[in-house]
Structure 1
Amino acid sequence: MRRLLTGIPCALAIAATVLRPAAAQTIDLASSKVVDLSHPYDANTIYWPTEPTGFQLKQEHKGFTKGGFFYYSNAFCSPEHGGTHIDAPMHFAESRWTNSDIPLDRLIRPAVVIDVTEKTAKNADYALAPDDIAAWEEKNGRIPDGAIVLLRTGWSARWPDRKAYLGDDAPGKVDNLHFPSFGPEAAALLVAERHVSLIGVDTASVDIGPSHDFLVHRTIGAANVPGLENLTNLDQLPATGALVIAMPMKIAQGSGAPARVIAFAPR
């Protein structure tokens, strides 16, 4: 594997190399914008309905110490799966990577964005299909091996309205969820034929809301492909040409973790 990050001549460039040298991508910082693809964590953060708790921030100290200087510190508590976070492959696939096992090179890659907002506006349960991938590739070229594939549904505009975002706000209930995402056949194509390093979506799950068998989770997990959920600002990224950096907390043996996800995109 070649180096992921090279030096920055004149502090102007970041270079990212994926599995094939031909797919190397250089980002010129002078002509790029940095896009935050993450929701903040706070009392309004949306978690999977079966989680018994949400994000909790406890102030430990805020003010001046006996030494006369200001000091501020908190403690936080959070389930793994809520807000902008990563699903480790082992979340739904036994003996695959846990959160701390995921190689860094899988998390820093050129990204493609597939926009299905026109279809999700008509169907809240829309699932990305192989035909959508074929149509995207006809317009933009083949998805490069090792890329990060992000699915833009437009759902992040509903955040943090829990009912609008999930389709239901009943605590602990998952039988009436409605939101779009990847479909199983599309996920199988992406991992088996495009060898993606990561997939992500601006909804609560890489499976559609009504799913009860979680085939997308199981498919990508078996292939050691992580998933990013609850992304935002995908409308600020082009179909091709962005570089995504997804940095989850390095929780040893975790099934997932909160993540700060950013992208470098052409201005």
Structure 2
Amino acid sequence: MSGGLSMKTTAALLFFLTSAFSAAAIDDKKVVDLTYPFSAETHHWPTAKPFFLEKVAEGRTAAGYWYSSYNYGGSEHVGTHLDAPFHFAEGKWTTEKIPLSRLIGPAVVIDVGRQAQKNPDYTLQVSDIRNWEQSYGRIARASIVLVRSGWGKFWGDRKRYFGTDEPGNSSDLHFPGLSKEAATFLVSQRAVKAVGIDTPSIDPGPSKDFPAHQVLGAANVAVFENVAALERVPNKGATVYAIPMKIQGGSGAPLRIFAILP
């Protein structure tokens, strides 16, 4: 195109306009919120600063109208959140540089609940991915893979969710994650654009060097952790929207993630 928007820009604009108009017709029952509320009770990594909400004002003013205002803060990596590739990969995307198109896409939900029930430190294997594909077909390029371990049932019980409730102790954690081999397969063989999980970390609790983080980060693949309500999302057919706070230079951010059911 000459003297105007490029074809790529025009296509992107048409996509978002179409999405905006389509959103008006979406049934509320088809929208699944995959985000835990942020509060003082929200789970956070043992060595991270918890979320806080500090009241500045709340009540009727002298003029008679209602006014409320708060300060908030805490770690980037608290509650349902994004890990930017930069979190474990030098020179890769920081939070604000991740294109929104990399955070929206078709959901592939791989269930390892049975395995995790037997072994709390279970890691997703390439065989689990291939088993999913036997039932639903090859994972499409640019999919968003969500690992459903069933760990969400422990949300609110820090000891069950992390494996320990000792403050500051990150050396005795137990929860499922991804194997290095599975992470490598997803980026090199299936070209996924994001990976999420319903546990505190994409790497299993006992991990000390976080290989899945390293592999995914090096490929500029975003990670979503502490994803809620995955039991409500089908194994195939939903669309995921993961919208993080746009923190400049960030290694992560609080995340509002939801799925539109087919």
The separation in 2 between residues aligned to 1:217 and 1:47, in whole angstroms, is 18
1:42 aligns with 2:53: no
Separation of aligned partners in 2, 1:5 and 1:244 = 15
Structure with greater helix percent: 2
Residue 211 of structure 1 deviates from its aligned partner by 0.5
Match of 1:7 among 4, 11, 18: 18
- Residue 110 of structure 1 corresponds to 106
Residue identity in the other structure for 1:36:
D
* Alignment partner of 1:33 out of 30, 35, 46: 30
Deviation at 1:146, TM superposition (A): 0.3
1:7 is matched by which residue type in structure 2?
T
Equivalent in 216, 224, 227 of residue 228 of structure 1: 224
Q: CA RMSD in A?
A: 1.7
Deviation at 1:204, TM superposition (A): 0.2
How far apart are 1:55 and its partner, in Å? 1.0
Name the counterpart of 2:208. 212
The secondary structure found in structure 2 opposite 1:190 is helix
Q: Could you tell me how far apart the structure 2 residues matched to 1:151 and 1:82 are?
A: 19
Q: TM-score, normalised by structure 1?
A: 0.90
> Relative to structure 1, is the Cα distance of residues 58 and 65 closer, same or farther in structure 2, using a 3 angstrom cutoff?
same
2:134 is aligned, of 129, 138, 147, to 138
- Contact kept, 8 Å, 1:115 with 1:151, in 2: the verdict is yes
Q: Tell me the equivalent position of 1:128.
A: 124
Aligned counterpart, 2:163? 167
AA aligned opposite 2:34: L
Query: Residues 133-212 of structure 1 correspond to what in structure 2 (within 5 A)?
Result: 133-212=129-208
Equivalent residues of 1:32, 1:264 under 8 A apart: no
Deviation at 1:98, TM superposition (A): 0.3
Q: Which residue of 101, 112, 119 maps to 2:115?
A: 119
Which residue identity does 1:248 align to in structure 2? P
Alignment of 1:234-249 (within 5 A): 234-249=230-245
Query: CA separation in 2, counterparts of 1:50 and 1:61?
Result: 30
1:76-112 residue CA offsets vs partner (Å, 9 max, x unmatched): 1111111000000000000000000100100111111
Aligned to 2:4: none
Structure 1 portions without partners, runs of 5+: 15-26
Partner of 1:88: 84
Q: TM-score, normalised by structure 2?
A: 0.92
Q: Identity of counterpart residues, as a percentage?
A: 47
Q: Please give the alpha-carbon distance, in whole angstroms, between the structure 2 residues aligned to 1:7 and 1:40.
A: 29
Q: 1:146 to 1:28 in 2, by over 3 A?
A: farther
What SS does the aligned partner of 1:125 have? coil
Q: Distance in 1 between matches of 2:19 and 2:240?
A: 17
Sort the Cα spacing of 1:242 and 1:28 in 2 relative to 1 into closer, same or farther, 3 A: farther
Q: For 1:24-60, what per-residue CA distance to the aligned partner results, in whole angstroms no more than 9, with x for missing partners?
A: xxx9724961000000011111111111x21111111
Aligned with 2:246 (options 243, 250, 266): 250
Runs ≥4 in structure 1, deviation > 4 angstroms?
none
Q: What do the CA deviations read for 1:219-251 (whole angstroms, capped 9, x no partner)?
A: 000000010000110000111110110011000
Q: Is the 8 A contact 1:106 1:197 kept in 2?
A: yes
Q: Which residue of 2 aligns with 1:17?
A: none
Q: Which runs of 5+ in 2 are unaligned?
A: 1-7
Letter in 1 for 2:248: A
